[in-house]
Copies of this chain bind each other. A is one copy, B any other.
């Protein structure tokens, strides 16, 4: 009931509503979103109402200081492709809006504790989640970092040393522990991986590391577990 007059008033918003009804048909011809029927419903009823449009006219009297030109041009030169422009503008904005909201629901889908809320607090909770997630991943990665420097050395002989995170999965699993004068290196790799013990020892020699103990154990069908202790 309230929608009726509001929409009719909206109809007389601008550009005297002479052929406003077909403009409405232009817009309404593309529903562009089938979900959220409750929001779509009043628009449909609007078209039904504006078929018998009130034929409103806007008369503007400018009694102030001279501003005649700016008020008249828009109403006069509005004919040619202006209405189509407006319709496409409306559609574009509508599309943008709906893809933004569906980005929001996608966000709520990916983040666990995010059920339903207003957009701002959704973003706030998302930010908190991201922060705690990335501090967790840095904490977990800190543990892996013990073998970082020796990892770099081994990678130089295997592949280029960029994008260490991705390449890590393909490369042999290497871990190292360092004290003030000793280093413990553990390697899990495939047999015949081009990573023989002699190669590793060669690298360690270049680092002025003196191997004091080592063990190579077979694990599974084609895996080796190599453990090396060396002095700096």
Interface, chain A (partner B; CB < 8 A): 1, 4-6, 8-9, 12-14, 52-65, 67, 70-71, 73-74, 96, 99-100, 103-104, 106-107, 110-111, 119-120, 123-124, 126-127, 129-131, 133-134, 136-137, 140-141, 144, 177, 179, 182, 184, 186, 188, 213-215, 217-220, 223, 225, 227, 229
Contact B137 A119 (CB under 8 A): no
Question: In the complex, what residues of B have CB within 8 A of residue A96's CB?
Answer: 120
Contact B127 A133 (CB under 8 A): no
Q: Give the copy number.
A: 2
Query: CA–CA, A6 to B67, complex, Å?
Result: 12
Contact B57 A59 (CB under 8 A): yes
Return the contact of A74 from the options B5, B53, B107, B127 (Cβ within 8 A): B5
Can you list the 10 inter-chain pairs with the closest CB atoms, starting with the nearest?
A5-B70, A215-B215, A52-B64, A103-B123, A140-B140, A54-B62, A56-B60, A213-B217, A184-B219, A179-B220
Contact A59 B61 (CB under 8 A): no
Query: CA–CA, A4 to B66, complex, Å?
Result: 12
Query: CA–CA, A137 to B93, complex, Å?
Result: 38
Contact A62 B70 (CB under 8 A): no
Question: In the complex, what residues of B have CB within 8 A of residue A123's CB?
Answer: 100, 103-104, 106-107
Contact B62 A59 (CB under 8 A): no
Query: CA–CA, A60 to B52, complex, Å?
Result: 14
Whether A61 touches B57, Cβ cut-off 8 Å, given contacts A120-B100, A120-B103, is: yes
Query: CA–CA, A110 to B70, complex, Å?
Result: 46
What distance in Å separates the Cβ of A166 from its nearest Cβ neighbour in chain B? 11
The residue on B at minimum CB distance from A133 is: B133
Contact B137 A133 (CB under 8 A): yes
Whether A219 touches B137, Cβ cut-off 8 Å, given contacts A9-B74, A186-B186, is: no
Contact B5 A73 (CB under 8 A): yes
Query: CA–CA, A12 to B70, complex, Å?
Result: 14
Q: List 23 A-B pairs, Cβ < 8 Å.
A: A1-B70, A6-B74, A13-B13, A52-B64, A54-B61, A55-B64, A56-B58, A56-B60, A58-B58, A103-B123, A110-B131, A137-B137, A177-B219, A179-B219, A179-B220, A184-B217, A184-B223, A186-B227, A215-B215, A215-B217, A219-B229, A225-B227, A225-B229
